Amino acid sequence: MAAAKRPELPAILIANDLREGEVVFATLEGWTRDPRRALVVQDERAAEALQVFGAKEFLRAKVVDPQLVAIESAEGAPRPRHYREALRALGPSVRPDLGKQADFQI
């Protein structure tokens, strides 16, 4: 089986909280629901360290599906480049008054 291709940099680590199901973002302190606080990695070494952190958190049953996601910009709130991850980061797409788009205005 081929190794998964790492996304382009800069990137963030996104996952789902196992207990709440909420989309969370890796920070220096752990996890947050606020995408504006996501740790942005700019180089391969930092990206690998972030993936290792996500794998450990998965094994500890803290999160599921930790993925490194390429972002458009490291300025302000990081915005995922791909539509699927952008939608995942925002929350429900049918109600802009709910989810992260209402809470954090990203």
Q: What is the pLDDT of residues 13-34, one digit of tens each?
A: 999 999 988 889 999 999 999 8
Yes or no: say if 9 and 42 are a contact pair by the CB < 8 Å rule: yes
Task: HSE, CB side, 13 Å, CA atoms: give it for residue 43.
Answer: 2
Residue type, 61: A
Residue type, 25: F
- According to the model, what pLDDT value does residue 91 have? 63
- According to the model, what pLDDT value does residue 1 have? 44
- According to the model, what pLDDT value does residue 11 have? 94
- According to the model, what pLDDT value does residue 82 have? 75
- According to the model, what pLDDT value does residue 63 have? 96
Residue 103 has a CB neighbour count (10 Å cut-off) of: 12
Q: Which residue has the tokens 């180089």?
A: 43
The stretches in the chain having pLDDT less than 50 are: 1-2
